[in-house]
Amino acid sequence: MKPKSIFSIQGKAVYDMKQIKKDVVVIGGGPGGLAAAITAAREGASVLLVERNGYLGGQLGSGLPFLGFLDKKRRRIIGGFAQEFVDRLEAAGASYGHEYCPHHLSTTLIDPFYARILSFEMVREAGVEILLHCELSDVKTENGKITSVTVAGKGQQIELLANVFVDGTGDADLAYMAGAECVKGDEDGVLQPPTLMFNLGGVDIDRFADYLAANPEQLPHAVIPNIEEGYDAEFIRNTKSAIFLGLNPLIEKLRKEGNCPVYRDTVIFIKQPIPGHVAINTIRLLTLMAQIFATLVTVRWRPICRSPR
């Protein structure tokens, strides 16, 4: 690693470029990036993991659960690093393991705060080096192969060299900037809606389940006919990892009365390991709202990434 120096040209700070070389460089410290970095290091490779936030884990720290560990026959169909991560969470009291769900097949609740801690622990154990608060800013290629990437951090730029680069950004940022062909959205250009989560304490689950038992139309069976039997008030009450989805009639009524300014038709929350706490899915921007948001981003935000080569 070269030492950096700072000087000024016309009042603007200019930095000498650092350079780091590893066997493997992983861009993005979310679930996929963690798995790639840790397993590569366990195989003996020197690994650098780059993350734009000040913590590791990505969506693991959002309050969302894992889905898809069990099939319709309630058999576990996912193993490897993902199951190891869940096992360690469960051993620490930060997960209840895999529970069957009539709506989602299975849910695996995780403590979002401990998931971040465990991410750091497992990275350290594997000997992976970390760069936090660093954003991908440039990619150099030669003959269709990435030769180096540049990341911008707090007051510094770093050129990263490696034999293998792994895109763990979640949005194919590295692949796109390297010139790979990318597809955005479905045939109509609609993307998966952005999701913003927040944790709420002091929730009386029993009282809420009583309300659902007295008002079963607030559960999603009326609008989602393929939900299996058992997704009812008692499931929400008694299942530790329950995900609630519903209240559509109530929201419609409140909106007609002018008492619901939020543009959505469903309330979604996920139980958390702390009793009385839930993670609430705040907003899902779909179709028109998503198009408006995309326009605002295009007009008001100046991207820091260069065009693909």
Nearest CA-CA partner of 147 in 174, 119, 107:
174
Cα(49)–Cα(34) distance, rounded to whole angstroms? 8
Does 214 share its domain with 281? yes
Does 256 share its domain with 128? no
Does 98 share its domain with 162? yes
pLDDT tens track of the chain, all 309 residues? 444 444 444 555 555 678 999 999 999 999 999 999 999 999 999 999 999 999 999 989 888 899 999 998 999 999 999 999 999 999 999 999 999 998 889 999 999 999 999 999 999 999 999 999 999 999 999 999 999 999 999 888 999 999 999 999 998 999 999 999 988 888 887 777 767 788 999 999 999 999 999 999 998 765 566 677 889 999 999 999 999 999 999 989 998 999 887 777 788 999 998 889 999 987 665 555 555 555 554 444 444 344 444
Does 159 share its domain with 279? no
Does 281 share its domain with 210? yes
Cα(48)–Cα(222) distance, rounded to whole angstroms? 50
Residue 283: domain span: 195-288
Does 144 share its domain with 203? no
**pTM, whole model, 2 decimals?**
0.82
If you compute the radius of gyration of the chain from its CA atoms, what whole number of angstroms results?
23
- How many domains does one find in the chain? 2
- Report in angstroms the alpha-carbon separations of 89 from 24, 85, 106, 177, 273: 27, 6, 17, 35, 11
User: The domain spanning residue 23 has which CATH number?
Assistant: 3.50.50.60
Q: Are 176 and 307 in contact (CB under 8 A)?
A: no
Residue 293 lies in a domain: no
Residue 60 lies in a domain: yes
Expressed in angstroms, the distance from the first to the final Cα of the chain is 27
pLDDT at position 306 is 41
Nearest CA-CA partner of 99 in 274, 271, 276, 269:
271
Does 219 share its domain with 117? no
Does 228 share its domain with 152? no
Does 159 share its domain with 254? no
- What token pair was written down for 134? 């660093």
Does 78 share its domain with 159? yes
Q: Are 252 and 258 in contact (CB under 8 A)?
A: no
Q: Are 33 and 58 in contact (CB under 8 A)?
A: yes
How many other CB atoms are there within 10 angstroms of residue 192's CB atom? 10
Residue 309 lies in a domain: no
**56 secondary structure, DSSP code:** S
Residue 219 lies in a domain: yes
Of the residues 114, 144, 177, which one is the last residue of a structural domain? Answer: 177
Amino acid at 265: D
Three-state SS at 122: helix
- Report in angstroms the alpha-carbon separations of 45 from 13, 98, 147: 36, 32, 18
Of the residues 145, 177, 209, which one is the last residue of a structural domain? Answer: 177
Residue 4 lies in a domain: no
SS (H, E, C) 224-258: CCCCCCCCCHHHHHHCCCCEEEECHHHHHHHHHCC
Residue 30 lies in a domain: yes
- What token pair was written down for 58? 């990505």
Residue 187 lies in a domain: no
Does 154 share its domain with 31? yes
Residue 217 lies in a domain: yes
Does 142 share its domain with 212? no
